[in-house]
């Protein structure tokens, strides 16, 4: 709390802006969790056999896992340590200017998530496997964050190139 208080004192506009966007960010985290199960299947990783804490991801205890910020449930609970690098990568999708009190998504998060989810999950699967099946180490690997951010940046840059090509063609 002391650090939060210091942040508020040093950059009150930035903290106020982030707090206003927090519901969207928390919804995004639930959307990522929900998408992870299908994306793991898509990249050929049997996520149901992986552990989330001391339970299997798709164990009976993890049926009807609540997604509190979406008001839904899902059948499974992907490792929380996978969520951190995937969610952090979405910072690349933010137009941020705390002085002007601006925080806006460059493109809708649902569109971006649909486009990059398999690559983000594949990155987490790779880190998971490189750490002998210990998902908790995924969030401790800077490479997981860097590669996930690279996938988001790559998609955003490809969209920008397509936009510029369309503008050039229209001239």
User: Each residue of 82-98: pLDDT tens digit?
Assistant: 999 999 999 999 998 87
Q: What is the pLDDT of residue 89?
A: 97
Number of separate domains in the chain: 1
Q: What is the pLDDT of residue 144?
A: 93
Q: What is the pLDDT of residue 45?
A: 85
Q: Does any domain span residue 73?
A: yes
Q: Does any domain span residue 115?
A: yes
Q: Does any domain span residue 16?
A: no
Q: How far apart are CA 138 and CA 144, in angstroms?
A: 7
Q: Does any domain span residue 120?
A: yes
Q: How far apart are CA 88 and CA 86, in angstroms?
A: 5
User: Residue 160 pLDDT > 80, yes or no?
Assistant: yes
Q: Does any domain span residue 160?
A: yes
Q: Does any domain span residue 14?
A: no
When pLDDT is averaged across residues 115-141 and rounded to a whole number, the result is 87
Residue pLDDT, tens place only, 19-43: 899 999 999 999 999 999 999 988 8
10: confidence class by pLDDT, cuts 50, 70, 90 = confident
User: Residue 4 pLDDT > 70, yes or no?
Assistant: no
Q: What is the pLDDT of residue 98?
A: 77
Query: Cα angle vertex 78, ends 51, 36, to 5°?
Result: 140
Q: What is the pLDDT of residue 54?
A: 72
pTM: 0.86
Q: How far apart are CA 14 and CA 26, in angstroms?
A: 18
Residue pLDDT, tens place only, 48-75: 777 666 778 888 888 899 999 999 999 9
Task: Please report the DSSP string for 124-135 in residue order.
Answer: HHHHHHHTTT-G
When pLDDT is averaged across residues 158-171 and rounded to a whole number, the result is 94
HSE at residue 31, side-chain half, CA atoms within 13 A, is: 17
For residue 96, the enclosing domain spans: 22-170
* Residue 7 · residue 16 · CB < 8 Å: no
Q: Does any domain span residue 11?
A: no
Q: How far apart are CA 119 and CA 113, in angstroms?
A: 10
Q: Does any domain span residue 10?
A: no
């Amino acid at each position: 709390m002391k650090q939060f208080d210091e942040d508020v004192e040093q950059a009150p506009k930035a903290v106020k802006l982030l707090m206003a966007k927090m519901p969207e960010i928390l919804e995004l985290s639930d959307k990522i969790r929900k998408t992870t199960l299908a994306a793991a299947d898509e990249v050929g990783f049997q996520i149901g056999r992986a552990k989330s804490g001391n339970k299997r991801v798709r164990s009976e205890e993890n049926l009807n896992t609540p997604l509190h910020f979406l008001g839904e449930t899902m059948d499974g609970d992907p490792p929380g340590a996978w969520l951190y690098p995937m969610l952090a990568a979405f910072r690349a999708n933010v137009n941020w200017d705390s002085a002007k009190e601006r925080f806006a998504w460059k493109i809708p998060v649902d569109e971006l998530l649909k486009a990059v989810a398999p690559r983000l999950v594949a990155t987490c699967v790779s880190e998971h496997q490189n750490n002998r099946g210990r998902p908790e180490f995924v969030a401790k690997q800077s490479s997981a964050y860097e590669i996930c951010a690279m996938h988001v940046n790559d998609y955003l840059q490809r969209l920008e190139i397509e936009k510029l090509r369309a503008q050039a063609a229209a001239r």
